[in-house]
Structure 1
Amino acid sequence: MIAEARKTIGMSGRPNKITKRYAAKHGDEFLQADWCDMAVTFWARESGNAEAVLPGGDRAYTVWHAQDFQRIGRWHSGTTANVNRAKPGDIVFFDWDATNSVGAIDHVGVVEKVLGGGRVQTIEANTDDAVRRRVRSSSVIAGYGRPAYGGGHWTEEIVKKLPQLNKGDSGEHVQSLQGLLMARSHPEIRMTGSFDDATEAAVKAVQRWGGVAADGIVGPKTWPVLLRVH
């Protein structure tokens, strides 16, 4: 992951190789878009680390990417103590207003080196519209996700902990389900936490796509389809 990021240091301007790759898959509107998380997606795929780094699939929107790490229990908030425990390869998210709120995240990069004192050296894209090394402190770090590099079979582990969900259910797990449906190209879904008709219809569509019974029930066969990385 870090090796692929290093290869792109100095790349600048847009469209560029990274935005073109993302746009070819997700639409021309990404050619000129902010590209910090598109770069993380690019580095992950080029290095063969997509499943570990992109637990919700390709990302250009940093908030959703951070929420992906939260959903699989691999998120660490940006306290000084936590930043000192970061590791090279962690995906680090920034909030320039220093609120540490996931919903306020502005930017993302990859940790190259931990410097101590709540500081890390990073490689980031779209920083002055280029890929550069930066030194960041915990004051602007909202948190970081720790990819399960080298396997980890996180999908199997998390599925064992997830409940069966049906139409009429509500709560945090339904909200997570809706976030995964949105990541599976269902922008009509909103994260309301209520398993309504629209959620059921989207579940059935994903089930058909994933080759499992399209019964609208989210259980041990459907969760892995929702969590699958492309």
Structure 2
Amino acid sequence: MCHLSSYLAAAGGVLAGLAVAAALLSRQRQVLHQQRQALAARDRDRSHWRRLATHNDTTGLPNRRALWTHLEATFSLGEPLGLVLIDLDRFKLVNDTYGHEHGNDLLHEVGRRLRALGPQVALAAHLAGDEFSLVVHGDDGEVEAAAEAAHGRISTLPYEIAGRQVVVTASVGYALAEPDMLPRDLLQAADQAMYLAKRKRCGIRAHDPDHATPPGVVVRYRDLR
């Protein structure tokens, strides 16, 4: 009987030890799970802030910073490159008539149409307000085709705004990267072409190197529009 009591006591001690070990293991698992959740949440937050830094929150398209980063990287490769700038015509009238919420819906739809242009467009970006851009990896014919496709997608298909079918047009300018250009030069050349397209109401305009801004002179043509 004494031996049985000893065995039972020993067994009870083992069971108690196992129960304590199981509780500790369960607690460790809970702590590890909480740590993993915290790390995952931190990674999501970081990804969210990184996206906010490089994307426009209205359209979800890459923003001006992302465009600049892409241009710098592409220029370093020395491959054929073109830039298309797009400005919606009379967008302020849309905002004034239908409200900013519907104006944002219009911008989102424009971004969707540009995003679906095709493989020749390496990057579609929303720079600010009603201004968009396309980076085209290709020769002059491919850049021109992308500019015409963008103009057609935006200007010929109506938009549904507040239950109405509304036609919105765009002014499009494009430029090709030249051997002696920097990214800012290409951006200014396309900006000049877009300014002329808007001023002359011709829809699409290519940059004319013979009428380029002199080297070292920086003109913000967007401020003239």
| TM bucket, shorter chain | under 0.3
TM-score (norm 1): 0.23
TM-score (norm 2): 0.23
- Structure with more helix by fraction: 2
